[in-house]
Amino acid sequence: MASEPDQNESVDDESLDADIDDREAKRLIKEVLKEDVKKGATKKINSEEDLEYMAGLLSEFLDCYVVLGYDMEGNGIEIYAAFNQQQSDSLRMMVGEAAAKLNV
């Protein structure tokens, strides 16, 4: 079992990333989003601020992503985060595959 670093030691991001596998990252994202949904039920929604918060949160766990949906007022929401051509191409292919699955 790995020992916890003491307060004087620094921990780099790479070692933290290596400790979190895909399943754990997905579980953490779901947990955080569930908490946000619970909080959202009791607070006034500030769409722009909340979307920026959500995008920042997703960026902590995902290298690139697409979020599609509707806000509580029925407005379409599209958030894309790809920082190079390879990420953009990969997301485009994944979105196409997901759209094909929706057409049942």
Structural domain count, the chain: 1
Instruction: Give the model's pLDDT for residue 44.
Output: 55
In a domain, 1, yes or no: no
Low-confidence ranges of the chain (pLDDT < 50): 1-11
Instruction: Give the model's pLDDT for residue 94.
Output: 93
Instruction: Give the model's pLDDT for residue 87.
Output: 93
Beta bridge partners of 69: 77
The amino acid present at 56, given as its one-letter code, is: G
Q: What is the rounded distance in angstroms from the CA atom of residue 95 to the CA atom of residue 79? A: 13
In a domain, 71, yes or no: yes
In a domain, 3, yes or no: no
In a domain, 6, yes or no: no
Q: Per residue in 1-24, pLDDT tens? A: 444 444 444 445 555 555 667 888
Instruction: Give the model's pLDDT for residue 9.
Output: 46
DSSP 9: S
Beta bridge partners of 65: 81
Residues contacting residue 81 through CB under 8 Å, at least 6 positions apart: 55, 58, 59, 62, 64, 65, 66
Distances in Å between the alpha carbon of 7 and those of 4, 11, 14, 16?
9, 10, 18, 16
Distances in Å between the alpha carbon of 33 and those of 23, 30, 37, 56, 99?
15, 5, 6, 12, 23
Domain with 26 in it:
13-102
In a domain, 8, yes or no: no
